[in-house]
Amino acid sequence: MDLVIRDARVIDGSAAPSYRADVAVAGGRVAEIHREDSPGPRPSGARTLDAGGLALAPGFIDMHAHSDLALLRDPDHSAKAAQGVTLEVLGQDGLSYAPVDDRTLAEVRRSIAGWNGDGADIDFDWRTVGGYLDRLDRNFGGRGIAVNAAYLIPQGTVRMYAVGWEDRPATAAELDRMRRLVAEGMREGAVGMSSGLTYTPGMYADDAELTELCRVVAAHGGYYCPHHRSYGAGALEAYGEMVRLTRSAGCSLHLAHATMNFGVNEGRAPELLALLDDALDAGADISLDTYPYTPGCTTLAAMLPGWASEGGPRAVLDRLADPDTAARVRHDLEVTGSDGCHGVPIEWDTIEISGTGEPGLAAYVGLTVAESAERRGEEPWTVARRLLVEDRLGTTILQHVGHEENVRQIMRHRVHTGGSDGILQGDKPHPRAYGTFPHYLGRYARELGVLSLEECVAHLTARPAARLRLPDRGLVREGYRADLVLFDPDTVAAGSTFDEPRALPTGIPHVLIDGRFVIEDGRRTQVLAGRSVRRAA
């Protein structure tokens, strides 16, 4: 054996009661599990690690990550590795960097600079899904990446490529091109397709178009992961739309950051769960992910009405520069409730600036738009418009619109998994980027008892592995990959807070990927054991 982990409390990912055992690793896989009451000799190996009763679990799977460029630029990536994350699912919310042509790449880089930076430090030497996955594998001189990564084909990027930024139905030829792009991406290893249906240009797709693309995804054994059309006014209708659409297409459904936000949805989680239970009982294949926090995180530009974003980023800035058009945007935001803000009139005291691309705007970070306006003796819209224009749509925000009781009820559901939705950009990012998984274990399992420890681990490991159809991950089993986390159930906790969002967690001393230590004694090693994880044929 390469490694024997002695006297571990094995929480194997199945939700079954934990047990004491020695776990032996060889060739990057779990080779033997010797329970404390098993007969015969204990395994021995080239190296022994005394777990001393630490919990040993499968590596955590982040079902909703925005590390698409971070994995290429940062060999350390402790934001996720230190949490025990061994696999991230990228390509989220319908916007990412493959498949593209030169025009589309330039546009998508600009439109999601608030999520990933503008990419000026990245050599974009790929254009296809397969090319991006290959790039992950050969990154850093062929050493790979910090953690494993799977990829969803971003439907908004596909529409950008085939149709552009126009708010209209796709032509037959354009729809056929989108089908081909999705099929090619699935054949090249994507695990499914994502959408951002409050983001442009993905929101311009109607249900018929989405259904056709989901049929392609289903034909290749993938799943559809929508950020649906509303998490505010009309949220239940938006969830129902996704259930009906995927059932019509015969496609598996995974609901992204599934929650019920804004005042109109306080206390309404049971209605969502009843909707999902009815569909599951009728045979639908549905799962969901959430992060264990109440605020959301996105870009300030995402709040704008869809009509204002038609034509792409340059057109948005032109509209904001025109006083009459800007006044119309303001009315939609503050009075009507824009589709970008989920149909709810915006409350500027809930919009906290978390990061700006322009250093000269850093004074706004950490303040709500309402606070900044009060300090400057201005109206909130004046502040918001200035940020949008001067930061060229790159401003990131925290949106304080969630409800704790909704968060707790949804995380208990039988198809729930964990996803950080972690945006790593900005001076003051959401602490979920650095803290989601230990926060589940420490806050919601140990302190609040919302989930037992065994149940919580299952939500973060075996359930997501099943959704991704990974036959050898997500459980501590002989023959499975040795993606493992050792943590202390009594002390594990998120170090990140809203004041110190990049603080690393405590109580996670060891993390292994393919049997190699990426975190050892609480410190990041130089090991790059991550690779692309592609859909199995």
What span, in angstroms and rounded, lies between the C-alpha atoms of 276 and 271? 9
Q: What does the alpha-carbon distance between residue 136 and residue 138 come to, in Å, rounded to a whole number?
A: 6
Give the distance, in angstroms, between the CA of residue 111 and the centroid of all CA atoms in the same chain. 18
Cα 289–Cα 207–Cα 110 angle in degrees, nearest 5:
65
Q: Which residues of the chain have pLDDT under 50?
A: none
User: Is residue 249 within 8 Å of residue 211, measured between CB atoms?
Assistant: yes
- Count the residues in the chain: 537
Residue with tokens 């696999």: 87
pLDDT at 80: 98
CA-CA distance, 426 to 115, in Å (whole number)? 9
Q: Where are the alpha helices (DSSP H) in 250-376?
A: 269-281, 306-309, 313-321, 323-331, 369-376
Tens-digit pLDDT profile for residues 225-236: 999 999 999 999
Measure the CA–CA gap between 351 and 121, rounded to whole angstroms: 29
Exposure of 30 in the CB half-sphere (CA atoms within 13 A): 28
| Residue 200 identity | T
Straight-line distance from the first to the last Cα atom of the chain, in angstroms, rounded to the nearest whole number: 31
Smallest CA-to-CA distance from 119 within 129, 132, 130, 105 is with: 105
Q: What is the pLDDT of residue 453?
A: 98
* Confidence at residue 537, expressed as pLDDT on a 0 to 100 scale: 63
Confidence (pTM) = 0.96
Query: In this structure, what DSSP letter does residue 368 have?
Result: B
Helix axes 207-219, 235-249, angle to 10 degrees: 50
402, HSE (Cβ side, Cα atoms, 13 Å): 20
Question: Which helix or strand (DSSP H or E) is residue 308 part of?
Answer: helix 306-309
Question: Virtual CA dihedral for 492, 498, 501, 504, nearest 10 degrees?
Answer: -10
- E strands present in 442-524: 484-487, 510-513, 516-520, 523-524
Maximum CA pair distance of the chain?
Answer: 81
What are 254's strand-pairing partners? 287
Q: For 321-378, what is each residue's pLDDT tens digit? A: 999 999 999 999 999 999 999 999 999 999 999 999 999 999 999 999 999 999 999 9
DSSP for residue 505:
P
Task: Determine the Cα–Cα distance for residues 433 and 437; give it in Å rounded to an integer.
Answer: 9
